[in-house]
Amino acid sequence: MLSLLEDLRFGWRALRKRPVFALTAISALALGIGANTAIFSVLESLLLRPLPYEDPEQLVMVYLDNQMQGWPLDLTSYPNYEAWRDGAESLQDLAAFTRGSFSLTGDGDPERLQGASVGGSFFSLLGTLPLHGRWIGPAEDVPGADAVAVLSHDLFERRFGGDDSILGQQIQLDGQARTVIGVMPPRFEFPKGVKDFTPSVDLWVPMAPSEATRANRGGLWLWTVGRMTPGGKLDTLQAELGRVAANLAQEFPDFNRRFGVTVVGLHEHLVGGVRTGVWMLMGAVGFVLLVAIANVANLLLARAADREREIAVRAAMGASRGRVVRQMLTESVLLSLFGGLAGVAVGFAALRLLTQIAPSEIPLEGLRLSPVSLIFTVGVSLLAGLLFGAFPALAMSGARFGSALKEGGRGQQGGVRGRRMRSALVIAELALATVLLAGAGLMIRSLMRLDATDPGFGHRDALTFGLTLPRSSYGESEQVVGFYRDLVERLAALPGVDAATATTGVLLTEFPRSTTFRIEGRPEPTDEERIEVTIDAVMPGYFGTFGVPVLGGREFDGSERLDGPTQVVINQAFADRFFADQDPVGRRFTYGTEIAEDTDWMTIVGVVANTKRNGFEREQRIESYLPHEQFRSRRMTVLLRTDLGLDALAPGVRKAVWSLDADLPITDLEMLESRLAAERSDRRFYTLLLGAFSGVALALAMIGIYGVLSYLVAQTVPEIGVRVAFGASRLQVVGHVLRRGLMLAGSGILLGLLAALGLSGLLDSLLYGISGTDPLTYLALAGVLLAIALAACAAPARRATRIDPVTALRHE
């Protein structure tokens, strides 16, 4: 113990004697350890930390496997939910829920809230106790029960000032009075994060479906969350529910043909979408740390050469070789702990930055350094110290201390072994940096390809916002049509607005409104031929305002009437698939596959171009559009074509809406281009971080090359002097140094490129429009890295040309 304290005191004095060396090493380590601390905190929060529910490992999501449409995670009907709940022994319980959107009026500005309508067992199944009040229970989940609501902690603080006197009071939601019975704790946000659910959950209300809804087998509108029995297994539950689905298909073939069940663990379901990206970042910062370790190891090798006489003196005074090695390792660990301490500060700053730039798909709100992250940092620091300390210790273990004393401390430092170690470390640094840069290059190229993809509609100079008219105020369909007609006219008259229109959905969700259909004069489609078409309502002028070309026929012109023939516009994908050899304009089809005397046949009046409004990477859907006059929806997205920005136009938009209804909340008021950018914000986030980590690794690797060549020049002064004395020109001297440097660089780059090709498959799920072996990326990267390496070699090469041969030979 006393010897260890002595080693620590000696190590501390040694670092104080060389402050520039110590600061350089600690800075490199701080970058590597700080990056690891930050990204591990993200990984621990998203992937390792248990969900804030009782026994979260027992929780699962259960979806309908819609084999007819190729959707393994589809919503289900209420009868299916009841059959699943009652038919699997591995399930303790199964709760249903669906999306809810509510206009909160009364005190303060009207606000559109996102929430969930939940079944009576929803809260008890999850097991998280309310912060105030009580849960929604089975007694509220029946028609005619008391209208109640449970608030999220965020809404409780933001709208009601955290005053628990709101319990028992009524709030107005969509014109209906609901009694607040509870407030959930801060971390309870479920079902936020569930596939295609709302991005935030402000409150929960009872679902209370009617008897007709409970009996409707054709309506697919429910999400379901379940709790397995203790010790239950996913595959067992999957098999049990698969048998239930098979029985339903036999008993109700008109509704359940080709319907299976998909069971997914809740944790995997919530974080599966970010798992690949987060582990990629963790691997990237691991590489950065290895580069930093190699860099510090090179510094220590150079310093060990300078200390060889000092160490030889200690050996001559009786210090064993093991004691010398232990002393060097102690100094390295001490250095790494200082680096770890600085890394905590870097990690803290990095986390603050990450929480600000992370997209909503990667939930990092309120992320802090946890005790687990700090323990991880300490462990990484100690491991790093042992790793980079091992190199000089190994080099010195083969040194001849006696010769060091005789030669006056020239610093042969283990001779060939030390030089080989330094070269190997530089090659490793460059190889690791090359792997990171290859990944960053692929991500950048992919993002550029994504940004350059034409979405098929005019996404620039367009503003959108959402409105939902409450049924209590707009009970008659004529009121709905009249409101939107008046609103569009007022918006179109605003200064700077070129056109205005509205639709039920500018961009498609994962679960758009869709249905099967049947074309007039053709037989009923078989199970294999059945496909669903999306349904949207649009107002006159929509396609022109949205920038979607009309390829045939016409768009709606406002002459459509509710009591007139139903008209429809289809997209090119629909026309190509079902009317490939004929003009679809004038043909008719109906929603659903059953035909009766009163079947509503819709006449196709136009064909419009395909768009990527359902996402850049999803398969092109077949789409249909109805005139809003004939398909009257209370919930609409308004679209304005304008050359003004959001800040300039927003006040006029609010004034126009509230002049018609002062209690109507406006949601998602934003430029369409910003909304599209948000669709790929996760890719941009990963690309930015990977690029930043790659840049750090490259800078450290170039410093390593520079240091090795500078040391090489210093150690070979006599050799260079002899070359010059025998007639070598400056150009030959430069070539000699550059050749050594470029051999190191080329070896590292080649190894890195081969490793990157081997690992390229790990990035496939994050790439768009290119493969992980894109040759242009690798060729460009090799050229750029060689150029940068050449620049790093230039200064030592110039220094070599200034060596005076007479001085060099006298030194020898």
* Pick from 609, 512, 598, 607: nearest CA to 568: 607
pLDDT digits (tens, 9 = 90+) for 694-742: 999 998 888 888 777 777 666 666 666 666 666 667 787 777 778 888 8
- In the chain, the percentage of residues whose pLDDT exceeds 70 is 88
C-beta separation of 752 from 433 below 8 A? yes
165 or 676, higher pLDDT: 165
Q: Which of 660, 691, 707 is the last residue of a domain?
A: 660
* Pick from 151, 139, 154: nearest CA to 102: 151
Residue 667 belongs to some domain of the structure: no
Q: Which of 660, 686, 708 is the last residue of a domain?
A: 660
C-beta separation of 271 from 78 below 8 A? no
C-beta separation of 293 from 384 below 8 A? yes
* Pick from 111, 8, 31: nearest CA to 697: 31
The count of domains in the chain is 4
Poorest-confidence range of 296-305, 384-393, 593-602, 794-803? 794-803
In this predicted structure, the answer to whether residue 649 has a pLDDT above a threshold of 50 is yes
Shared domain check, 175 and 101: yes
Placement of tokens 């520039």 in the chain = 20
Shared domain check, 332 and 201: no
The alpha carbons of the chain give a radius of gyration, in whole angstroms, of 34
Shared domain check, 442 and 491: no
- What is the C-alpha separation between 189 and 489, in angstroms, rounded? 39
C-beta separation of 96 from 222 below 8 A? yes
pLDDT of residue 532: 86
pLDDT of residue 124: 95
Which helix (H) or strand (E) is 22 found in, with range? Answer: helix 19-43
Greatest CA span in the chain, whole angstroms?
Answer: 112
Shared domain check, 506 and 636: yes
pLDDT of residue 569: 97
Residue 186 belongs to some domain of the structure: yes
Rounded to an integer, the average pLDDT of 749-760 is 92
Integer angstrom CA distances of residue 354 from 42, 284, 377, 685? 9, 16, 18, 9
Q: State the DSSP code for 130.
A: P
| Per-position DSSP letters for 685-733, written without gaps between them | HHHHHHHHHHHHHHHHHHHHHHHHHHHHHHHTHHHHHHHHHTT--HHHH
Residue 424 belongs to some domain of the structure: no
Residues 6+ apart with CB under 8 A from 290: 32, 428, 432
Rounded to an integer, the average pLDDT of 327-348 is 88
pLDDT digits (tens, 9 = 90+) for 424-458: 888 999 999 999 999 999 999 998 888 888 888 88
pLDDT of residue 310: 60
Domain residue limits at 785: 429-455+677-812
Shared domain check, 204 and 165: yes
Determine phi and psi for 54, rounding to 5 degrees. -65, 130
Q: Are strands 176-183 and 132-133 parallel, antiparallel or unpaired?
A: antiparallel
Shared domain check, 714 and 631: no
- The four Cα atoms 100, 105, 111, 117 give a dihedral, to 10 degrees, of -10
* Pick from 252, 113, 255, 130: nearest CA to 171: 113
- What is the C-alpha separation between 456 and 249, in angstroms, rounded? 39
- What is the C-alpha separation between 117 and 207, in angstroms, rounded? 5
Residue 63 belongs to some domain of the structure: no
- Count Cα neighbours of 614 within 13 Å in the Cβ-side half-sphere: 18
540 or 396, higher pLDDT: 540
Shared domain check, 182 and 73: yes
Rounded to an integer, the average pLDDT of 625-654 is 93
What does pTM read for this prediction?
Answer: 0.83
Q: Which of 660, 691, 724 is the last residue of a domain?
A: 660
pLDDT digits (tens, 9 = 90+) for 777-794: 999 999 999 888 888 888
Shared domain check, 408 and 262: yes
Residue 200 belongs to some domain of the structure: yes
Which helix (H) or strand (E) is 494 found in, with range? Answer: none
Shared domain check, 640 and 768: no
Question: Can the peptide bond before residue 191 be classed as cis, meaning omega within 30 degrees of 0?
Answer: yes
| Per-position DSSP letters for 362-409, written without gaps between them | S--TT----HHHHHHHHHHHHHHHHHHHHHHHHHHHT--HHHHHHTTS
Residue 665 belongs to some domain of the structure: no
Residue 461 belongs to some domain of the structure: no
Shared domain check, 363 and 448: no
Query: For residue 416, what are its two tokens?
Result: 């060939």
Residue 810 belongs to some domain of the structure: yes
> What b-and-e string marks burial along 257-271, b requiring 16 or more CB atoms within 10 Å of the CB?
eebbbbbbbbbebbb
Shared domain check, 487 and 631: yes
Shared domain check, 216 and 273: no
